[in-house]
A and B are shown apart, each in its own frame.
Chain A
Amino acid sequence: MMSEVKALFTLMRKNIVAMVGFILVVAFFVIGIISPYILTRPEDAWGSTFNVSARYLPPSWEHPFGTDEFGRDMFNRVILGARFSLIIAVGVVGLALVLGVPIGLIAGYSGGRLGTILMRLTDMFLAFPPLLLAIALAATLGRGLANAIIALALSWWPWYARLVYVQVNTVKNMPYVDAARVLGLDSFTIMFRHVLPNALTPVVIQASLDMGSAVLEAAGLSFLGIGVQPPTPEWGLLVSEGWQSINVAWWISFFPGLAIVTTVLGFNLLAEFAREFMDPRLRITMMAKRWFK
């Protein structure tokens, strides 16, 4: 696997799309992690203060993203928002994996009746369009960051379960698995030492790239009012807060939305690249280009 990763990075360096995506994603992670420590106006960011004389200031050197109706600096709020988006992205994808992978694994490996039943179960969940189940769950469980993560994860796990199921099905019929069985290894070991690592790679890659969509969906929930609650500066919530004042202060909605776009764009660009990388035909073309450049 390490050689593959190395090849990946070499290819990336030559591919502008991938580089841009990579930089954006890394920036997102870095800012997300360190943001509470680099804030110039932490009270503004966390929403615990207000300043009447600084209301609705347009973008300037002092306030690069302007201020909102409470006089809070939007730049700080957007930066801190990255942290919440990161928490959501990791939380949703992580939880969905924890739920979906075991189910997919069991279904794929046991196959037969159990497999079909489990896949039918995931089908039922997949009958809901992306955010809809999350909306219904959030309406029942209640508002807030934790519930939003749970609701989104509960609507996402079927994807991963299905993905793992397909992967496991492919891998378990591979010759080396047969070889392992012939050698006398028990099912458990086979499943964990041979099937799982190979089946998981595409799933993990897919999950990492899905984090962008997690950010997007969480923003949607917050915008509808059933996700994160004020004064938490989550990007979707910031956009909705700026809606009321959009005629006097377009910047309140604009910059948080821009942050969402750049972050999700980064993930999507990487996903594009990964797709081409995974497709053997194109990978060969890519590598060939590199040799002959």
Chain B
Amino acid sequence: MRRAISKALTALIIVLVVALSLGAYLYFAGTAVKKPARKTVVIYASLSEMTSAEPSTEFSNSIMWMAVVYEPLLYYDPLNNVFIPALAESYEHDPSGLVWTFHLRKNAVFHDGTPVTAEAVKFSIERTISLGQGAAFIWDPVESIETPDNYTVVFHLKYQAPLDAIASSGYGAYIFSPNVVKYAKASNSTDPKITDWFNAGNDAGSGPYRLVKWDPQNEVVLEKFTDWWGWKDPKYPLKSDKAPDVFIIKIVKDSVTQERLVRSGDIQIAQTVPLEDIENLKNDPNLRVVMKPSFQNLLLFFNTRKPPLDNVLVRRAIAHAIPYEDIVKIAVNGLAKVASGPIPHGMWGHFDNFTYTYDLDLAKKLLTEAGYPNGINRTLVLTYTAGDVYEKRTAELIKSSLGRIGINVEIRPMSWQEQWALAQSGWNNSQAAQDLFIMYWWPTYVTPYDFLFNMFDSSSKSFDLCYYNNSEFEKIIDSAHQLEGIDRARSLELYYKAQKILYNDVPAIALWDSIDVKVARANIGGLDKAINPAYATVVFPQALSVEG
């Protein structure tokens, strides 16, 4: 008995000693991990992976960080219709509109310490033009670029064009250091070695942050560039003293997760959250919901070469058979505006009288007029991008509504690339392409021409996927574009005329204009400045202020 007790006692004592030492170790180990000097970090979740790191040719998701690491000559604030100076302090153009002069600021430096000179501007833009990919087409009007001195750049244009808008583009207008040729051990500016150097995660920009980690599928880490000219300029609007030291773009591929992460504080800004949850999120004191207009819209394209959609009456019938209000309510929980024409709300060139009424009787009447009194006997194929919930719901709603006027629609989700390729193949064989497809559009730089040319001009084979070919229309938009920088009023008149043509011909229908909704932690301020519809998906961290 006694032996049993002392055995148990010994066991107990051993256990206690072990537990205590373990506890002590853990405690000290925990406190030993001292947090270093607190760096403020803001994590911004992105829905899609980053694409390339090439400032001359990038035309996709990487704008999210490129617009922060690199700088264009100007930024454009579309809601106040002003240009904000970036690398160019001021600019002017001559009366003919063919010579534009930009004056660069003198204290801008690249991340490698070298100053931003006119030579660098000329180098960057000429390289972009030579490579001819991505958004290089925006520089088409440029005949030549001169650099009379280190801080003056003169553009000579072939024809009139709004060069200030062009130079403020979020794609293809970035200025980078000519030293890339040296760093990449390349032979000239168009040597592919430079592209490889960029895509290996190197940056040659001048912006407020530098690229520190490049893992395009998972995250992109940016760190504050302390020598940025903007930090030292007290009056510069697009900056804040409490900007984060580190800005991370983290790839979080679905909106439900982004919402969870921002609620738990694992990320500070979510790019998208399920729109159904916005109401609840507004009531959360730890979060703030920021809504701003965006220039993204969703359009339904018709294959205008494939019967029965080659008949304009059929297209008009469909236009009146789509429940636009309901689509906005159901698909995006009311967080969009019913579109009126292809130019979104808030952008100049938008007009409010290009809507179609939802009138099933009228639709049926038009169908009968077109020769289909009993509906259409072929099943039309509508494609949309797989994985996009809002497109999916919109497609289902279109299918249901068209079913009511006797048009049978099969909705087919496809990957974006497949869908796009299928539609493009319609230029060679229109019968092989789909009948209907929905896609988003947003501008490269803010001008109605971007929408109207890319989606409806017959020379834009990549995106004129309704195969619209109307030379009168094309002449009108060309003139309108040329007059943009010089005679805005006349330009507007012409854009109205062009949209009226589209309204009558119905090669495509704009469904809704997105509202940009971002959810952030309550301690992140300055979002209003940092979000700009002209730079879709970008949050400018230099304008944020991190509290606490």
Interface residues of A (CB under 8 A from B): 47-50, 52, 55-56, 69-71, 143, 225, 229-231, 243-249
Contacts and interface: CB of A to CB of B under 8 A. Distances in A.
Contact of B276 (A50, A71, A231, A245): A245
Nearest to B275: A244
Interface stretch (B37-45, B390-398, B459-467, B512-520): B390-398
B274 A244 contact: yes
Interface of B: 255-256, 259, 274, 276-277, 280, 326, 329-330, 386-387, 389, 392-393, 396-397, 399-400, 403, 411-413
B400 A49 contact: yes
A56 B275 CA distance: 13
Given A70-B397, A143-B413, A229-B413, 7 more contacts: A47-B400, A52-B326, A55-B329, A70-B330, A231-B396, A231-B399, A247-B274
Nearest to B386: A225
Nearest to B396: A231
Given A69-B330, A143-B413, A246-B256, A56 B397 contact: no
A225 B276 CA distance: 22
Contact of B255 (A52, A244, A248): A244
Contacts of A56: 276
A52 B256 contact: no
Contacts, number: 56
B221 to A, nearest CB: 29
20 contacts: A47-B396, A48-B400, A50-B326, A50-B396, A50-B397, A55-B330, A70-B393, A70-B396, A70-B397, A225-B386, A229-B411, A229-B413, A244-B276, A244-B389, A246-B256, A247-B256, A247-B259, A247-B274, A247-B277, A248-B276
Most chain A beta-carbon contacts within 10 A, residue among B276, B392, B413: B276
6 closest cross-chain pairs (CB), A and B: A248-B276, A247-B277, A245-B276, A244-B389, A52-B326, A52-B329
A47 B395 CA distance: 12
Contacts of B326: 50, 52
A248 B400 contact: no
A241 to B, nearest CB: 9
A247 B276 contact: yes
Contacts of B397: 50, 70
A50 B326 CA distance: 9
B56 to A, nearest CB: 35
B480 to A, nearest CB: 38
A77 to B, nearest CB: 13
A244 B257 CA distance: 10
Nearest to B277: A247
Nearest to A47: B396
A225 B387 CA distance: 8
A248 B255 CA distance: 14
Contact of B403 (A48, A55, A248): A48
Most chain B beta-carbon contacts within 10 A, residue among A48, A244, A246, A248: A244
B330 A244 contact: no
B282 to A, nearest CB: 13
Contacts of A247: 256, 259, 274, 276-277, 280
Contacts of B274: 244-245, 247
A52 B330 contact: yes
A71 to B, nearest CB: 8
Nearest to B278: A248
A149 to B, nearest CB: 19
A256 B400 CA distance: 23
Contact of A69 (B255, B276, B387, B413): B276
Contacts of A55: 329-330
B256 A248 contact: no
Contacts of A244: 255-256, 274, 276, 389
Contacts of B392: 230
Contact of A230 (B259, B277, B329, B396): B396
Contact of A50 (B400, B412, B413): B400
A246 B386 CA distance: 20
A55 B334 CA distance: 12
A105 to B, nearest CB: 40
A69 B277 CA distance: 12
B385 to A, nearest CB: 12
Nearest to B397: A50
A176 to B, nearest CB: 56
Contacts of B259: 247
A145 to B, nearest CB: 13
A45 B399 CA distance: 15
Nearest to A69: B330
B413 A225 contact: yes
A55 B331 CA distance: 11
A69 B387 CA distance: 17
A249 B256 CA distance: 13
A49 B404 CA distance: 9
Nearest to B326: A52
A47 B330 CA distance: 14
A225 B399 CA distance: 19
Contact of B411 (A69, A230, A243, A246): A230
Nearest to B255: A244
Contacts of B393: 69-70
Contacts of B400: 47-50
Contacts of A47: 396, 400
Nearest to B387: A225
Nearest to B389: A244
Contacts of A52: 326, 329-330
Nearest to B259: A247
A122 B467 CA distance: 50
Contacts of A230: 392, 396, 411
A230 B396 CA distance: 8
Contacts of B399: 48, 231
Contacts of A248: 276-277, 280
A97 to B, nearest CB: 31
Most chain B beta-carbon contacts within 10 A, residue among A49, A225, A248: A248
A244 B386 CA distance: 14
Nearest to A225: B386
Most chain B beta-carbon contacts within 10 A, residue among A56, A69, A246, A249: A69
B495 to A, nearest CB: 34
A246 B400 CA distance: 24
A143 B410 CA distance: 13
A249 B389 CA distance: 16
B429 to A, nearest CB: 20
B354 to A, nearest CB: 24
Nearest to B392: A230
Nearest to B325: A52
Contacts of A229: 411-413
B104 to A, nearest CB: 48
A245 B256 CA distance: 8
Contacts of A143: 413
Contacts of A70: 330, 393, 396-397
Contacts of B329: 52, 55
